[in-house]
Copies of this chain bind each other. A is one copy, B any other.
């Protein structure tokens, strides 16, 4: 039941968005294997993680950390480590948004707060 990685990978694939076959084509990993990884039937090797990191918009070391291959704190330039605790911006998101002109970037925030206000008025 402790399958974060599979869920994270699937979540990211869905939101990119990609199908298993498309991800397979872009990464060179078979779709059946990818599927099994997502639902926790197989554990991805470093080679596989490396192959799928780019198409999914992850940094290589990011996936390695999630897989437990690499310790949470990234050496490099000392930086705040608790990264997935939500204090920091997802690199993929940052990269995508940076492609947009500034006014679009800001309206994204507007849409987000709109959605959140809708959520607040929803029966729970």
- A residues whose Cβ falls under 8 Å from a Cβ of B: 11-12, 14-15, 17, 45-47, 50, 59-62, 64, 67, 69-71, 74-81, 83-84, 86-113, 115
Contacts and interface: CB of A to CB of B under 8 A. Distances in A.
Contacts of A113: 17
Contacts of A111: 108, 111, 115
Contacts of A81: 94, 98
B86 A99 contact: yes
Contacts of A60: 69-71, 74
Contacts of A76: 74-77, 79
Contact of A91 (B64, B80, B86, B88): B80
A101 B108 CA distance: 16
A45 B99 CA distance: 32
A47 to B, nearest CB: 7
A111 to B, nearest CB: 6
